[in-house]
Structure 1
């Protein structure tokens, strides 16, 4: 394998350079000879010129390959000895039996993974997890955070959905603005609409004063609705209007309130199944 690798670098590449030089010199010389002598054979001058250009092309290719290979080889050897590479990964770089191409590929892949982990730790220090799946989640956070689109986070209970929502908010254009959270399961069904939309004084028993809802409190910022899969259907329909029109009326009121809110929702339920069951 080492021989095939050496041939590909030290022979094939210079030969390609030499071939290109030979074709260029032959074509240019023949064209010149045709124009000057109207087709007369150039003879030995053409052969000497072609050999000279071929040799120069081969030498140029060899020098380029050597200049490229030396720093790459030094980098790979240093990367193989880095402590983090063996400390973070469970599988050290194996000996490929002289297969330089495969060994270089493994080392470069390892270095790329290490750099991505370091970057993830710097951007999301509050999120613990460096697996491939978790890095994919972090990559999605980086993509969606700068946008202003609605985000749905799905996952089992205890997997850190709220941390993901917080990270999206912290890396968004609305950073520093209100970030309001509401767990839809923690609020009794009869009070959920009041918590979301607010209410006017006297709207129901115990409403002794006007109160702003979470939508209005989050105006200009982000609203995180956790466990949205457990929300009653009637409330879902009213929230849909807010998502589409960005406006609502508080409970017991007739005035329309317009808001500028980014929505992030989370659930541990399979929403597709809930939709098929008519529950979402």
Structure 2
């Protein structure tokens, strides 16, 4: 962690970069790159994603003066430090800070460092939305992040070029978040429909069906009085998805195999009484002889 003086120095050096012919400004950037390389070596030795995220969180403070200075100067110069820290902030869970940097990176059309092999917009959507969708897959009833952050990401990247499956991923994450609000079901449906239009295998067909039924039920006051109406699934699309996920787990091949193995063990244990009866019969015959 930087001292206030160190942070101020970084800030000043970052602001002067590109606005001064002084070679010390370039040296300051080289020093930041060197620090970044050393920290990457440290991170490369860590296998746990959870531990790595915690370490990134502790490291980010050492660059905060540079981040503040770059954003304040707003020169738009190529900067591998700032683009890398944008991703590190995502990994560490600092999404608001990451999007603050992202706005600068996208506006100045900066490139990502070579190891990312993607444009900034694509990297942003991938790195933010992948964990969100994993969390929704575990429990569709809980939003892992505030939907406002996803909507902000959508607004920032809507003019950016990216693969259709990647943008579909963003729309899916927004749709899943919005459907948790009964007042936003129409918006959730619109986002999920956009997602499947962009990428047919995005996996939201069932979600769309349940949302359509839920919306229809809210438009029909007497729907809950109809004996043939599946009220639970129509009014609680998220609960229905959660139930289906649980049923899928219990009926999975692994669960079935476990049940079959248990059955085999029980069957194998059953012959013991018969063996006992046979023993008694032989004993009876021997006594008779």
Compute the TM-score of the two structures, normalised by the length of structure 2: 0.25
Higher share in helix: 2
Higher share in strand: 1
Q: Computing the radius of gyration over CA atoms, which structure comes out larger, 1 or 2?
A: 1
Higher relative CO (Cα under 8 Å, sequence separation at least 6) belongs to 1
Compute the TM-score of the two structures, normalised by the length of structure 1: 0.26
